[in-house]
Amino acid sequence: MNTPTSSRALGTGPAGLSPVGFGCMGLVGWYGTRDDAESTATLLEALESGVNHFDTAASYQIGENEKFIGPILKPWRERIVLASKCGLARGPDGGVVADNKPQTIRTSLDASLARLGTDYIDLFYLHRIDTQVPIEESVGTLAELVAAGKIRHIGLSECSVATLRRAAAVHPIAAVQTEYSIWSRDPERGMLATCAELGTTFVAYSPLGRGFLAGNFSRLDELPANDNRRSHPRFQDEAAALNKQLVDTLRELGSELGASAAQIALAWVLAQAPHIVTIPGMKTRAHLRDNLAGGRLQLDAAQLARIEQRAAAIEVHGERHPPAMMQAVDR
Ligand SMILES: NC(=O)c1ccc[n+]([C@@H]2O[C@H](COP(=O)([O-])OP(=O)(O)OC[C@H]3O[C@@H](n4cnc5c(N)ncnc54)[C@H](OP(=O)(O)O)[C@@H]3O)[C@@H](O)[C@H]2O)c1
């Protein structure tokens, strides 16, 4: 069995995180079809392989995701870092609305605990930052929940550097979760450095570009009709045809190293700093095994420089979220 060789710290807390964690969002829908038997087998193999960081959210399939993973993770509960998120709801226009009001945070946490079948969550995030509620107030509420033993660490997802600093003045922020990969590099504009300074772990979500960087698809008609990615600007045919050059770069290096494009994509993210961990989404054991190998792959300076040089020459086409989602990002 492939075991991750090292762990990375969670904020200033004691728990070590496997460099390759498990993004659970896609397990029960969202991207493509659902296969509960294979998803269950994948989660169990991940646990047995040493993956100890599992990421879900109240909003994933409106609680269905937490209900699915809770019983599977239960026997391993004390040995894992279970992360969930609150504060994000669907808006009437199909977009998303952040709601970080203290009462919403408390109600959402209780509902997540019930669905997950646990009495504490290791890492509890504000999924999006609500500009109507001062961050000091929402993090103050989360700090009370830490004191009450209902959550162990506080995280922020898609926050700005300024928000992180204000939040950290109230309570240590163990983790910031934001999209980060070879084609989504916003965190390099201050966030990675600020996390390092504050002792905050950076959790890179969608490290495989939602499967695109792994080379899984390059045209919309390769995705199932109900696949969420169909609405993403980067995957529209014209943009995808141009963006595919990045995948070609990853594939080219991968074929020289005997590695998949996904492995190169993950190894690149992990090579950027020691306080970064990844949470690729995967619902097959084949993808899990491939990603664990990616977590062990060490790219040398020349290989990293080559990726950098090629990436610098390729303009990424399209925003990383549809417009209605992009407006909810705290920048
Ligand atoms: N905080 C936020 O706002 C936010 C937003 C998005 C995501 N997230 C978190 O980040 C996690 C990961 O993000 P994501 O799922 O959007 O994107 P991702 O990890 O970049 O990509 C997932 C896609 O890549 C495929 N894949 C995984 N490993 C592969 C491999 N080795 N080879 C080929 N294909 C592979 C998966 O296929 P299969 O599913 O078929 O295995 C899936 O379609 C989510 O599960 C969620 O926990 C957080």
Binning pLDDT at 50, 70 and 90, where does residue 287 land? very high
Q: Is the CB of 235 under 6 A from ligand 1?
A: no
Residue minimizing CA distance to atom 42 of ligand 1: 211
Q: What is the pLDDT of residue 277?
A: 96
pLDDT digits (tens, 9 = 90+) for 227-255: 999 999 999 999 999 999 999 999 999 99
Q: Does 283 have pLDDT greater than 80?
A: yes
Q: If you search the block for the tokens 């162990």, which residue do you land on?
A: 152
- Domains of the chain plus CATH, in order, are 16-326 (3.20.20.100)
Task: Name the amino acid, one letter, at 241.
Answer: A
Q: Is the CB of 254 under 6 A from ligand 1?
A: no
Q: What is the pLDDT of residue 29?
A: 86
Once rounded to an integer, what is the mean pLDDT over residues 38-46?
98
pLDDT digits (tens, 9 = 90+) for 145-167: 999 999 999 999 999 999 999 99
Residue minimizing CA distance to atom 21 of ligand 1: 210
Residue 196, CB-side half-sphere exposure with 13 Å CA sphere: 11
Q: How far apart are CA 75 and CA 185, in angstroms?
A: 37
Length, in residues, of the chain: 331
- Percent of the chain scoring above 90 in pLDDT: 88
**Residue in 216, 222, 232 to alter for ligand 1 test, most ligand atoms within 8 A of Cβ:** 216
Which residues, 6 or more positions from 116, have their beta carbon under 8 angstroms from its beta carbon? 56, 66, 67, 69, 70, 73, 82, 84
Closest CA to 276 of 1, 3, 18, 14: 18
Mean pLDDT of the chain: 94
Sign for the pseudo-dihedral over CA of 71, 64, 178, 251: positive
Q: How far apart are CA 169 and CA 210, in angstroms?
A: 33
Contact 109, 88 (CB under 8 A): no
Once rounded to an integer, what is the mean pLDDT over residues 54-60?
97
Q: What is the pLDDT of residue 4?
A: 41
Taking the CA atoms of residue 104, residue 108, residue 109 and residue 114 in that order, the dihedral angle to the nearest 10 degrees is 150
Residue with the larger pLDDT of the pair 313 and 4: 313
Once rounded to an integer, what is the mean pLDDT over residues 209-223?
96
Q: How far apart are CA 69 and CA 54, in angstroms?
A: 9
Q: What is the pLDDT of residue 121?
A: 98
End-to-end Cα distance, the chain: 41
